[in-house]
């Protein structure tokens, strides 16, 4: 299996991405680290432990907490999408007997840092680990500065983020993870890393209606399946009332699937930059697609997912999340 670290800001789709990764025999999750984004980092870590409490985490899994704020901007969260706790307000879900279905968890008294976890994973498995980022790129930017040798020892880096040829989600043209920490994204894009970008162009093609997801759960025998509908209630409300399409998009799970089965995505080598400032342009990702001779062409700095096999992706998601 491919050894992976997930760097995440759970987040409903992050939580599903984690469940998916744990349920995928193609992957060996060796580390999970948190970052501020959808919620403040303390809450992200709490949510991570809540998930680790209900799944059987892989033995020897290393867990750490990362950056509490973006490099230069104030933190912007997405609780309007993910609920005040970031997991669709799981505390308010009650079982048939009236008790909370998801018990509160307590954090361990000693918590590693994300940087320590990455260093240790790479020490154990040099050149073998794929880093999958599901939140803002702050931890990667920090690592480039304080642990550059560690970053060089990642086999590849898969980034959920950006909107290349489609509208944004948090702003007219910006995707959330890029918007929250555009300075971090800029540093990462310029660092000559083996990057694959999984942008909204493909993730917004992989969505489900509330009804389909309810069918997935109803027809599943896995006890955990129910968590998918419990966590997505708030997100569906946002998709219906604010966005109007009514679909839940599997943004972060698709980045995990890029490591599970790369044939699900078609990628194109491109040079992509991210805008760091501007009244309306913060976080916009721009691919250089100008017509140029081979000598004049900007050198690609990443591979960008431009197309996705929607049917195969959805059926894999269903099989793994609601078996
Ligand atoms: C990204 O933003 C977050 O809200 C999601 O978890 C995902 O990582 C999609 O734009
Ligand atoms: Ca996320």
Residue 89 neighbours by CB under 8 Å, 6+ apart: 83, 233, 234
Distance between CA atoms of residues 224 and 156, nearest Å:
30
Q: Atom 4 (ligand 1): residue with closest C-alpha?
A: 38
Q: End-to-end CA distance of the chain: give it in Å, rounded.
A: 21
Which atom of ligand 1 approaches the CA of 11 most closely? 6
8 A C-beta contact, residue 245 and residue 210: no
d(CA 147, CA 190): 16
pLDDT for position 152: 98
Buried b (16+ CB within 10 A) or exposed e, 75-87: bbbbeebbbebbb
Q: Verify whether ligand 1 is closer than 6 Å to residue 39 (CB atom).
A: no
Tell me the pairing of strands 62-65 and 112-113. parallel
Q: Which atom from ligand 1 is nearest to the alpha carbon of 135? A: 8
User: What's the whole-model pTM score?
Assistant: 0.98
Please tell me the predicted confidence (pLDDT) of residue 56.
84
> Which is the closest atom of ligand 1 to the Cα of 12?
6
- Please state the atom number of ligand 1 nearest to the C-alpha of residue 134: 8
Q: List the Cα angle 33/204/162 in 5-degree steps.
A: 55
Q: Digits of tens for pLDDT over the chain (323 positions)?
A: 999 999 999 999 999 999 999 999 999 999 999 999 999 999 999 999 999 998 988 889 999 999 999 999 999 999 999 999 999 999 889 888 888 888 888 888 999 999 999 999 999 999 999 999 999 999 999 999 999 999 999 999 999 999 999 999 999 999 999 999 999 999 999 999 999 999 999 999 999 999 999 999 999 999 899 999 999 999 999 999 999 999 999 999 999 999 999 999 999 999 999 999 888 999 999 999 999 999 999 999 999 999 999 999 999 999 999 99
Among all bound ligands, the one having the nearest atom to the CA of 204 is 1
From the CB of 14, is ligand 1 less than 6 Å away? yes
- Tell me how far the alpha carbon of residue 88 lies from the centroid of ligand 1, in angstroms: 14
Give the pLDDT score at 199: 99
Q: Which ligand is nearest to the CA of 7?
A: 2
Question: SS3 breakdown of the chain: % helix, strand, coil, rounded to 5?
Answer: 40, 20, 40
Mark 125-136 as b/e (b = at least 16 C-beta within 10 Å): beebbbbbbbbb
Find out whether the beta carbon of 201 lies less than 6 Å from any atom of ligand 1.
no
Indicate the helix (H) or strand (E) that contains 132.
Answer: strand 129-133
Q: What is the pLDDT of residue 278?
A: 84
Position 316 scores a pLDDT of: 98
- Which ligand has the shortest distance to the CA of 35? 2
Pocket test for ligand 1, best of 175, 252, 283 (most atoms within 8 A of CB): 252
3-state secondary structure of 34: strand
Encoded tokens for 86: 């970031």
Strand partners, 156: 130
């Amino acid at each position: 299996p491919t050894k992976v670290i997930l760097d995440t800001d759970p987040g409903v789709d992050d939580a599903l991405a984690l469940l998916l990764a744990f349920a995928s025999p193609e992957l060996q999750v060796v580390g999970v680290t948190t970052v501020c984004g959808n919620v403040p980092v303390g809450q992200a870590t709490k949510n991570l432990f809540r998930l680790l409490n209900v799944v059987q985490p892989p033995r020897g899994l290393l867990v750490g907490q990362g950056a509490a704020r973006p490099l230069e901007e104030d933190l912007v969260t997405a609780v309007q999408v993910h609920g005040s706790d970031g997991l669709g307000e799981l505390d308010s879900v009650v079982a048939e007997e009236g008790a909370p279905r998801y018990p509160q968890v307590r954090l361990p008294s000693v918590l590693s840092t994300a940087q320590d976890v990455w260093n240790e994973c790479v020490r154990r498995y040099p050149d073998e680990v794929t880093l999958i980022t599901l939140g803002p790129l702050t931890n990667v930017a920090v690592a480039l500065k304080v642990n550059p040798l560690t970053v060089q020892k990642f086999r590849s880096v898969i980034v959920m983020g950006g909107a290349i040829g489609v509208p944004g989600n948090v702003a007219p043209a910006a995707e959330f993870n890029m918007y929250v920490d555009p300075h971090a994204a800029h540093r990462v894009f310029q660092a000559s890393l083996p990057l694959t970008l999984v942008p909204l162009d493909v993730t917004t093609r992989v969505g489900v209606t509330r009804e389909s997801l309810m069918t997935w759960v109803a027809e599943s025998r896995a006890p955990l399946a129910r968590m998918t509908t419990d966590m997505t209630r708030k997100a569906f409300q946002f998709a219906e009332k604010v966005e109007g399409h009514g679909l839940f998009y599997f943004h972060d799970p698709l980045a995990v699937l890029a490591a599970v089965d790369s044939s699900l995505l078609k990628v194109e080598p491109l040079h992509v930059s991210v805008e760091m400032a501007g009244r309306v342009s913060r976080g916009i990702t721009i691919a250089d697609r100008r017509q140029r001779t081979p000598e004049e062409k900007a050198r690609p700095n990443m591979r960008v997912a431009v197309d996705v096999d929607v049917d195969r992706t959805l059926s894999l998601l269903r099989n793994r999340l609601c078996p």
